[in-house]
């Protein structure tokens, strides 16, 4: 019954959603971030999805790349609407957060449906041309269908705003297939200083 409800909700979301192409080459994302793509991605747009741009290669149930392009202090990393119906943990970004606290925000977002998250790696990394960025890797068991996912993320705080990328896909086939493309996007990212 619960799976049927989720399928119906996803169907309703898809009926309101539109899909566009993010083309090869340099792309400006938000006001201050640019990336270079060596292949096109699909961008999902729908009301109520939250502040991140959502990209996919295979479709949302398979893989998704969330891109945050300047989340301001006090803004939530996800939509305030909770599919669980219960009280949702506060997922607001604060400019003073450390990388491990930001990763905890992403963990809270990914596990609000009861999925299981395990942090595999968290390390300093350049992101967006900023030396004080971070990179992390994680595993996730999606509760709705018990799919084992792998994921990775990059992030940096610049002038009090969060810039981040978060990619996840099934661990056996899709994650290894697109990992290199996501890493290329992360390496190409540039955050403009104002």
Architecture of domain 19-191: 3-Layer(aba) Sandwich (3.40)
Q: What is the pLDDT of residue 88?
A: 60
Residue 86 has pLDDT above 90, yes or no: no
Q: Name the residue ranges covered by the structural domains of the chain.
A: 19-191
Rounding to the nearest 10 degrees, give the CA dihedral for residues 93, 146, 174, 69: -10
For 134-180, the pLDDT digits (tens) are: 999 999 999 999 999 999 999 999 999 999 999 999 999 999 999 99
Report pTM.
Answer: 0.87
Question: In 3D, which of 144, 146, 141, 150 has the Cα closest to residue 174?
Answer: 150
- How is residue 27 written in tokens? 């792309």
DSSP string, 115-171: -EEEEEEEEEEEETTEEEEEEEEEEEEETTTTEEEEEEEEEEEETTEEEEEEEEEET
Q: What pLDDT, on the 0 to 100 scale, is given for residue 7?
A: 42
Is the Cβ–Cβ distance between 134 and 125 less than 8 Å?
Answer: yes
β 41-45/130-142 pair status? unpaired
Kindly state the average pLDDT of the residues 32-56: 92
């Amino acid at each position: 019954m619960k799976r049927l409800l989720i399928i119906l909700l996803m169907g309703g979301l898809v009926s309101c959603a539109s899909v566009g192409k993010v083309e090869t080459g340099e792309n400006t994302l938000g006001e201050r971030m640019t990336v270079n793509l060596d292949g096109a991605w699909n961008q999902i747009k729908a009301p109520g999805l939250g502040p991140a741009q959502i990209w996919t290669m295979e479709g949302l149930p398979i893989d998704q790349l969330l891109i945050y392009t300047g989340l301001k202090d006090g803004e939530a990393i996800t939509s305030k609407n909770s599919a669980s119906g219960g009280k949702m943990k506060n997922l607001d970004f604060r400019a003073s957060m450390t990388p491990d606290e930001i990763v905890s925000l992403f963990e809270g977002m990914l596990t609000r449906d009861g999925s299981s998250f395990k942090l595999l790696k968290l390390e300093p990394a350049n992101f967006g041309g900023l030396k004080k960025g971070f990179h992390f890797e994680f595993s996730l068991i999606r509760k709705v269908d018990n799919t084992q996912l792998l994921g990775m993320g990059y992030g940096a705080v610049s002038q009090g705003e969060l810039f981040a990328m978060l990619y996840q896909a099934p661990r056996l086939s899709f994650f290894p297939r697109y990992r290199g493309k996501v890493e290329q996007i992360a390496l190409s990212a540039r955050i403009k200083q104002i």
